[in-house]
Amino acid sequence: MRRVFPSSRFFAECASQGNGIALDSTLLISLFVLIASALPLRAQCVSGQIVQLSKPTVTSDLGSGLDIDARVFSFGRSLGQERQNTKAPAAIATSGNARIDPLSSRPFISLEKVRSEAEPSLEWSGSEEESLSSAGGQHPAEKDTSADDVSASSVFIARHHNRPDRNLDIYYRNRREFSLDVGWHPVNIPFIYDFAVGDSYNMTPLKYTLVPIVASLRWHVTNVGWRWIFRGNMDFTFSGAVTLIPRGPETHYYSLDFGIRRNFVYRNWKVVPFFEQRGGAGFINAKEPLGVQFAQGQNLTFTYNLGVGARYNIDSKYSFSAGMNYMHVSNGYLSEPAFYNYGINVYGPMFGLDVRLGKPHHNASQ
């Protein structure tokens, strides 16, 4: 029996050696746990985020030590998977503190240094919500502010669109104005309606320069109407004019005129374009009967004016105007056959001042 089965002393020695090996394993695990607890582990992935491992709890229990060892092993496996997912290794800038691991032939990075460099720039306590909101677009408070801005802007646009038209207090029916216009017409041209009377747009060698001074009463006969570029109103003009003739055989011309003006009134425009025509009759000190060739054939003459310009409204009472005016003076062939009707055809700039008469008007629709 002693030769077949070992002695009990042999079993006792094996048991004592097994206990020693288990004790050595427990001591090694405890030593690794102490070293790992002294260094709070962090790892940096390619995206630049710092992954911090919670500090393991050190206990004297062997089961707790094995649990810590399992967590460390799972952390290493997660780092390996992270490196496999990123084809290029993370580049960590070090200032001469990296040393070479003889086993892997790659620089060994101090995790404590990474922690000290990353902590000033990364504060995760309460900042995760801010980063997520900034990445998503707007912070809830900013969304509320932008919504308020949109509503305020829409209200402003609506108010701008519905803003009262101040020109309705200037151009309205039965408005009366006094106007004084002065012109300087030195340019001589043929009669613009020669095609209607059968003439060939001929000019005489005698040149004129006319300086009309026109005092008018304007009566607005319509309110602002029509649409698009035709929006505006009409006014009638009753004028008395004194025309000086600094160049020409005659010296003066007096006339009474009636005119129609179309004002192109756009919403809240201070500058209002206009188109007008005036016609009348008057007296001139004719010189052709006195032997002056190409002068006027008789004293009774007729006048026609055609003008375009723009009016600037200072307020509802005062305004200025400026434009170009064509002026024609002739006797309408009444002097023939004794004296030929040569006529005068000139044009030049015209300037005016308009003043409202009566009380101000307030449009009831505003």
pLDDT of residue 18: 53
- φ, ψ at 111 (rounded to 5°): -65, -30
- Give residue 2's pLDDT: 44
Residue 70 contacts residue 56 (beta carbons within 8 Å): no
Note the pLDDT of residue 23: 53
Give the CA distances from residue 96 to residues 92, 93, 101, 110, 193, in Å, rounded to whole numbers and listed in that order. Answer: 12, 9, 15, 11, 99
Predicted pLDDT of residue 360? 83
pLDDT at 22: 52
Residue 146: predicted pLDDT: 55
Kindly list the structural domains of the chain, giving each domain's residue range(s) and its CATH number in brackets, ordered by start. 8-118 (no CATH), 166-357 (2.40.160.20)
CA–CA dist 86, 189 (Å, integer)? 89
Kindly give the parts of the chain with pLDDT less than 50: 1-6, 11, 43-70, 72-73, 75, 79, 86-106, 108, 114, 120-141, 143, 156, 158, 160, 366
Query: What local confidence, expressed as pLDDT, does residue 202 receive?
Result: 87
pLDDT (0 to 100) of residue 255: 97
Contact 233, 218 (CB under 8 A): no
The set of long-range contacts for 257-262, using a CB threshold of 8 Å and a minimum separation of 24, is: 257/214, 257/303, 257/305, 259/216, 259/305, 260/234, 260/235, 260/236, 261/218, 261/234, 261/235, 261/237, 262/232, 262/233, 262/234
Place of tokens 């009636």: 258
DSSP 8-state code for residue 335: T
